[in-house]
Amino acid sequence: MEITLKNLTKIFQEKDKGEITAVNNLNITIPSGKLVGLLGPSGCGKSTTLYLIAGLLNPNKGRIFFGDEDVTDMPPEERGIGLVFQNYALYPHMTVRQNIMFPLENIKVEKQEALKRSQEMADLVGIGELMDRKPKQLSGGQQQRVAIARALVKKPRVLLLDEPLSNLDARLRLATREEIKRIQRETGITTLFVTHDQEEAMSISDQIVLLNFGIKQQEGEPQDVYDQPDNLFSAKFLGTPPINIFEGEIKNKKLIFNDMELTTKDSPDKNVLIGIRPEGFIIDKKSAFSLSVYMVETIGRDTTLIIKNPLDEEETFRAIVDASHRIKPGDTIKFKIKPEKLFVFDPETGELL
Ligand SMILES: Nc1ncnc2c1ncn2[C@@H]1O[C@H](COP(=O)(O)OP(=O)(O)O)[C@@H](O)[C@H]1O
Ligand SMILES: [Mg+2]
């Protein structure tokens, strides 16, 4: 079931703060059968978007389509939505089985059929053996699987997950996100996965949509957005360690940092922001671009060089190089920059130049 948001806008009125445009003229397509990650910092409008799709909130402007059907004015219970929240929201006094069956009782599915479907869903999410337990007898990861089984048992048209892994510890978070990906593939259900964690979104999503201040910043396959950021926000939001950003200028078709030429750039003279991904630094004795290494961290294959920005000692750069180089703090290293890892931004608009 393809989902389309057209010019969707949600404005909240707050007593003292006035109007907050939580979702601002949003256009998104979630292709049928795909998992789309909606990604952005806290407060950027992710949950509001999800609630609008679910019908728990009504938009001020814009339309929502499931396939060709306009569902904007349809009540939530008719939309065919499965919802999963960060805090599981299981009924504590009910067993796992009763929790999963609950949505079916509401729509008066016959008991035997409800039991059968609940067991199928429990098996699908890998908790088929735990049906007689109460939620508090389960780990966080198991509880979240119960919540997913409960969301799927009505065979919804769309699965909406709002930060479903945020309450889990790091190890469970990894395991559960792989489970969600597997369940989504096996069921082929169109899924919107909301998270503020870029690594989580990158790893799980067929496509990501990046949001800031309720405005879509960029969308595409995760690796494409990483490789070709449209603006400073996208460049900074994706990647660990994050992209290095520093002030430079374009002068006579050359990109200059601290009087050193990084590369040529066919643009008019102006001050710019330069972004270089940590993996974009290549050690090259012939280069004119040199930096002094402040600290060295070697973990396995990679060495991370921590370099103080010569223009601002408060700022550091991170360069990831091959561990075989054996670099010591205090060494001055000459670098060539991989052109595909270097981005130049307009300092006023943040747009890629
Ligand atoms: N019910 C509400 N009333 C007023 N403001 C709200 C309400 N819900 C969300 N907001 C505001 O809308 C913005 C987006 O919130 P939200 O969608 O929850 O962001 P996210 O899920 O990305 O953290 C925030 O500024 C938030 O404070
Ligand atoms: Mg939220």
pLDDT digits (tens), the chain, 353 positions: 999 999 999 999 988 878 999 999 999 999 999 999 999 999 999 999 999 999 999 999 999 999 999 999 999 999 999 999 988 889 999 999 999 999 998 888 999 999 999 999 999 999 999 999 999 999 999 999 999 999 999 999 999 999 999 988 888 899 899 999 999 999 999 999 999 999 999 999 999 999 999 999 999 999 999 999 999 999 999 999 999 999 999 999 999 998 899 889 999 999 999 999 999 999 999 998 899 999 999 888 889 999 999 888 889 999 999 888 889 999 999 999 999 999 999 999 999 99
Domain boundaries, the chain: 3-237, 244-345
- Residue 90 is given by DSSP the state -
Distance CA 53, CA 79 (A): 9
Given the structure tokens 């065979």, which residue do they identify? Answer: 155
C-alpha dihedral, 126 to 118 to 49 to 12, nearest 10°: -120
End-to-end Cα spacing for the chain: 37
Q: Is the CB of 42 under 6 A from ligand 1?
A: yes
Q: Is the CB of 48 under 6 A from ligand 1?
A: yes
Q: Is the CB of 353 under 6 A from ligand 1?
A: no
Distance CA 248, CA 257 (A): 5
Distance CA 261, CA 72 (A): 54
Given the structure tokens 């006579």, which residue do they identify? Answer: 252
Distance CA 345, CA 348 (A): 9
Bond prior to 241 in cis (omega within 30° of 0) = yes
In CATH, what is the architecture of 244-345?
A: Beta Barrel (2.40)
195 C-alpha to center of ligand 1: Å? 14
Q: Is the CB of 43 under 6 A from ligand 1?
A: yes
- Judging by beta carbons within 10 Å of its beta carbon (0-12, 13-18, 19+), is residue 84 exposed, middle or buried? buried
The three-state secondary structure class of 101 is: helix
In CATH, what is the architecture of 3-237?
A: 3-Layer(aba) Sandwich (3.40)
Give all strands (DSSP E) within 15-157, no chain letters: 18-30, 35-39, 61-66, 69-70, 81-84
Q: Which residues surround ligand 2, an ion (CB under 5 A)?
A: 47
